[in-house]
Amino acid sequence: MTSERILRLDLAGKPVEWLDWQHAACLYARGLVTWTLGDVIFRIRGGTSRLTGLRTELSLHSIIACNGRINPRPRTRPPLTNRALFRREQNLCLYCGHHFNDPQLTRDHIVPVSRGGLDNWLNVVAACRRCNQHKGSRLLEECGMELLALPYVPNMAEYLALINSHRIRGDQMDFLRGQFSRNSRWL
């Protein structure tokens, strides 16, 4: 099997998480998949029934909506990780505007933590090492720097696109894109 992921939704159609095919197959087998979208991306063949003589088969779709208490505590805000942050900024330093690979980027706090700034989506941007060191623990106005774009909190659809950006199928991306906020740089 491949490394393709299945997009899990709640019953209301809100994106929740990426699943591997094994976890999705368990949800299908337990009868928790209520509706599906997208293409069939996996077919799993089981044994032959003694009663009917038919072979069992599960067809796993690329997008599934599930019933039941699968995730008892849904996230209200996506977790802040460097990977997701760098994808939000499209691997640009938001001070100098140059494009960098992940190892060349850092998380910069607009209001430094040493000055009461929080480590959250609205107070961090991707910065190259040079710009981050130049800014140091100063405020933007103290060092004459400006942001090229304002930070925002991605919704779950945007977050799921950010963390899995290289392996999203077209039907999954079309579904997610329909739920992006107007702040998204991914539109």
Judge if 126 and 180 occupy the same domain: no
* Within-domain flag for 173: yes
Judge if 171 and 137 occupy the same domain: no
Q: What range does the domain containing 90 cover?
A: 82-143
Judge if 1 and 58 occupy the same domain: yes
Judge if 171 and 126 occupy the same domain: no
DSSP state of 170: H
pLDDT in tens, 21-57: 999 999 999 999 999 999 999 999 988 888 888 988 9
Judge if 12 and 26 occupy the same domain: yes
Are the C-beta atoms of 34 and 12 separated by less than 8 Å? Answer: no
* Within-domain flag for 152: no
AA letter at 52:
T
**Cα dihedral sign for 167, 160, 177, 65?**
positive
* Within-domain flag for 94: yes
pTM for the whole thing? 0.80
d(CA 152, CA 131): 20
pLDDT in tens, 49-86: 888 889 889 999 999 999 865 554 556 689 999 999 99
Judge if 23 and 71 occupy the same domain: yes
Residue 83's nearest CA partner among 165, 174, 7, 167 is 165
